[in-house]
């Protein structure tokens, strides 16, 4: 009578190979990096997304002189986008303040930007010397042929959901 051990050996080998392959596959998946869509603000400010990543507004607060500067940028925050509008209106809310502030277009001779053709807007207010965080609503901004109304954000978190 023949022993059945030799038939058991190939089955055992297949089982071990399956376990090893499954373990390796799982490790590869677990070590795979999770990719996220990120933007880097050129002035290290707060990114406010306009639309579905069509454009961005970068907000930079300078507490020393009490200014808030907004830069209008493209979808990847690589290029500045000039606007025709003379100002940007924000509704601001902090623990101690609720109000509306107007950021005015800034001309820049170095870039050739002028009022009515600029990507930079600014307001100076004592509020920005006292607070480093606020909730805001961008009332209206028109970038190229797209208008964005009532865009909510937090400073310094922004509104990017990615």
pLDDT at res. 32: 53
Q: Minimum mean pLDDT among 2-16, 46-60, 92-106: which range?
A: 2-16
Average pLDDT over residues 60-81: 96
**Mean pLDDT across the chain, nearest whole number?**
84
| pLDDT above 50 (res 48) | yes
Q: What is the pLDDT of residues 85-137, one digit of tens each?
A: 999 999 999 999 999 999 999 999 999 999 999 999 999 999 999 999 999 99
Given a cut of 70, whether residue 30 has pLDDT beyond it is: no
Distance between CA 156 and CA 162 in Å, rounded?
16
- The CATH code of domain 46-155 reads 2.60.40
């Amino acid at each position: 009578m023949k022993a059945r051990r030799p038939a058991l050996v190939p089955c055992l080998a297949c089982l071990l190979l399956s376990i090893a392959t499954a373990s390796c596959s799982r490790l590869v998946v677990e070590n795979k990096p999770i990719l996220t869509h990120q933007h880097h603000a050129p002035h290290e400010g707060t990114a406010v997304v306009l639309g579905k990543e069509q454009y961005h507004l970068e907000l930079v607060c300078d507490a020393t002189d009490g200014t808030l500067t907004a830069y209008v940028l493209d979808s990847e925050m690589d290029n500045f986008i000039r606007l025709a509008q003379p100002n940007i209106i924000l509704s601001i809310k902090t623990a101690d303040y609720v109000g509306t502030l107007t950021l005015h277009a800034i001309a820049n001779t170095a870039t050739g930007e002028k009022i009515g053709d600029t990507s930079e807007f600014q307001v100076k207010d004592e509020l920005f010397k006292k607070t480093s965080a606020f909730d805001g609503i961008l009332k209206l901004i028109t970038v190229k042929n797209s208008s964005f109304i009532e865009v909510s954000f937090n400073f310094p978190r922004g509104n990017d959901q990615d």
